[in-house]
Amino acid sequence: MAKTIRDVYGESLVKYGATDDRIIVLDADVSNSTKSIIFGKEFPDRFFNVGIAEANMAAMAAGFAACGKIPFINTFATFLNTLGLLSARIYGSYSNWNMKFMGAYGGVSDSFDGPTHHSIEDITIFRSLPNFQVLVATDARHTAWLVKNAIDHDGPMYIRLSRNAVPDVYDDNATFTPGKGNILREGDDVTIIACGLMVKEALDAAETLAGQGISARVVDMFSIKPIDTQLIVDSAKKSKLIVTAEEHSIIGGLGGAVAEVLSANGCGVKQAFVGLNDVHAETGPTDTLMKKYGLSAENIMTQTLKGLGR
């Protein structure tokens, strides 16, 4: 069974923290949930639980960054893009300090805590901040790479993590390049560009579409900012339709980023959007919420067929 993204994240902090004492980990009293506690148990002198004081935590992290440390800032994603936003904007973005904002329980994965805890606008907010990079974890192996990449990159970064175990998309031989998307399946009729949990849904949709005679390329666009402009343009040239799929509002997230590229480069191709359609997500089991808001292979197929006039 696949490991949860949050467990792999905690284990990766320990792995790289063992050889790099610049790594500092802060949490806002949810370390058992974010799994930053795994690091805390191994390196208590570099772990700071600040309590329910997310704004203070982000400001503390700025101080560490100013001293040459690499602070990993942990809490639920919704509290980073609200309570932590002032420090993200002033110290991360404006001052361009080396701060890593780790958004746990992204999307609707904080199922039973409801609308106040679901994070469906975090990508929009963080990608609007100058100097920030914005990335979304796809599966366990990708999560481990994201931690290493965050350490290697000198600059502010927002990484969205999910609460749950997700099916493996990548094997042990997978490679990732900063700022580049990965083509997971080739196709000539339509390109499905997805991120996070929706990547596996996109692959499932492509497999079913193939049975209906529709050839779908599937792209994991885990880097929302910087985004792989060339891959999007190349996909538009060979496709009749671009479909974006994300566990996020369709306003300003992956879909918005792709639309900006298509427009700026004069790509005359239609785009369909799969995501939350300008609503707040309700309370309930994650699978139920995903289905209700169309975050599924079935809805990717529906939007693809509709976009192709089928």
pLDDT digits 0-9 by tens, 15-31: 999 999 999 999 999 99
Look at residues 186, 234, 233 and name the one whose alpha carbon lies nearest to residue 210: 186
Share of the chain above pLDDT 70, in %: 99
- Residue identified by tokens 């309930």 is 284
pLDDT of residue 1: 53
Neighbours of 18 (CB within 10 A): 12
Contacts of 69 (CB under 8 A, 6+ apart): 22, 23, 24
Query: Under a CB-based contact definition with an 8 Å cutoff, are residues 199 and 176 in contact?
Result: no
pLDDT at 269: 97
User: Residues near 20 by Cβ (< 8 Å), separated by ≥ 6?
Assistant: 70, 151
Average pLDDT over residues 6-22: 97
Other residues' Cβ atoms within 10 Å of the Cβ of residue 178:
12
Paired strand residues for 272: 243
| pTM recorded for the entire structure | 0.96
Please determine, for residue 268, whether its predicted confidence score (pLDDT) is greater than 70: yes
Q: 172-191, pLDDT tens digit by residue?
A: 999 999 999 999 999 999 99
Output the pLDDT for position 166. Answer: 86
Instruction: Point out the residues that are catalytic.
Output: 54
User: How would residue 221 be classed by pLDDT, with cut points 50, 70 and 90?
Assistant: very high
Neighbour-count burial for 41-52, b at 16+ CB within 10 Å, e otherwise: eebeebbbbbee
Do residues 219 and 138 make contact, with C-beta atoms less than 8 angstroms apart? Answer: no
pLDDT digits (tens, 9 = 90+) for 233-250: 999 999 999 999 999 999
- Cα–Cα dist 179/134, whole Å: 10
62 closest CA partner among 26, 99, 94, 102: 99
Domains assigned to the chain: 5-160 (3.40.50.970), 182-307 (3.40.50.920)
Distance from C-alpha of 301 to C-alpha of 204, rounded to nearest angstrom = 9
Distances (CA, A) of 23 to 38, 65, 94, 275: 14, 10, 22, 35
| Residue 286's pLDDT band (cuts 50, 70, 90) | very high
Chain mean pLDDT for the chain: 96
**Alpha-carbon distances, residue 15 vs 8, 118, 305 (angstroms):** 10, 29, 45
Question: Mean pLDDT throughout 290-309?
Answer: 97
pLDDT score of 310:
84
Q: Stretch 164-170: mean pLDDT, rounded? A: 89
Q: Please give the average per-residue pLDDT across 27-56, as a whole number.
A: 97
